[in-house]
Structure 1
């Protein structure tokens, strides 16, 4: 049996989401837990790999909060447009990151650049971490210089 994987958006169920809320609680580990498993209609058990378990948990948690979910397969090699869309930037900006800044490894065949999905994700995580560290440093600097105390008393504007 061949299954075609396609992008799809799934809306949360209408009406009460008690079942989803219960499932979300069940999928949220309270402590280090054993390997998750699914039980098939015929009673067969199959272990769920950790990445699949995390995705299932995130999907159920989001849907229990009334959010829609989009599931989309990704090739392991992306075009510059696909990578730019994933990083929420324009394609020309991404090309500058690739060519000038060498921020993400890529291959080029003729005029076409290809980027590994794992390199795009690594760049995304690295920049997210760098931004968080910069914000933490700014907050620490503000606290050291007394900026937070300077704003504790409201200023009369009228």
Structure 2
């Protein structure tokens, strides 16, 4: 029996330096236009006017600006609908941990979820909050470790 891993999308292409620079310039232009304009929409046109102009809501342009910012740094981006719910397997992939670890965190009340029949579902918002809290705890632990090393006069 063949099982397809649907939780991972198509391979993310790497951006060349010229593409990253183009994304950086485009982000700067979009963010400057948003800062100066109080318009209900902003119109994008091409250099040569070959294609029709398109009106884009400022909220969408802000999202595009954030996307371009990540691209300009060479980071991969995945768009996830805000109301999306993850399975425990998908949550494990998102957090870069094992599925049993996710289940343990759910069972111990550290990761919010809801039951759909016998299946656990984790809201994307809850997954993000858990991920943020986990990173903050890790950072605090590293700070304490570094401080302990300094107190003991150890080099690392």
Q: TM-score, normalised by structure 2?
A: 0.66
Q: What RMSD in Å do the two structures reach over aligned CA positions?
A: 3.3
Relative to its length, the structure with more strand (as a share) is 1
The CA distance in 1 between the partners of 2:142 and 2:77, in whole Å, is 30
The CA distance in 2 between the partners of 1:131 and 1:28, in whole Å, is 33
The CA distance in 1 between the partners of 2:116 and 2:56, in whole Å, is 46
Partner of 1:135: 142
Q: TM-score, normalised by structure 1?
A: 0.66
The CA distance in 2 between the partners of 1:105 and 1:38, in whole Å, is 39
Contact 2:85 2:121 survives alignment (8 Å): yes
Partner of 1:114, secondary structure, is: strand
What number of residue pairs does the alignment pair up?
Answer: 133
Unaligned runs of 5+ in 2: 1-8, 46-52
The one of the two structures with greater contact order (alpha-carbon pairs below 8 A, sep at least 6) is 1
- Shift in Å, 1:118: 0.7
Contact 2:44 2:56 survives alignment (8 Å): yes
- Shift in Å, 1:13: 5.5
Partner of 1:112: 119
- Shift in Å, 1:143: 0.9
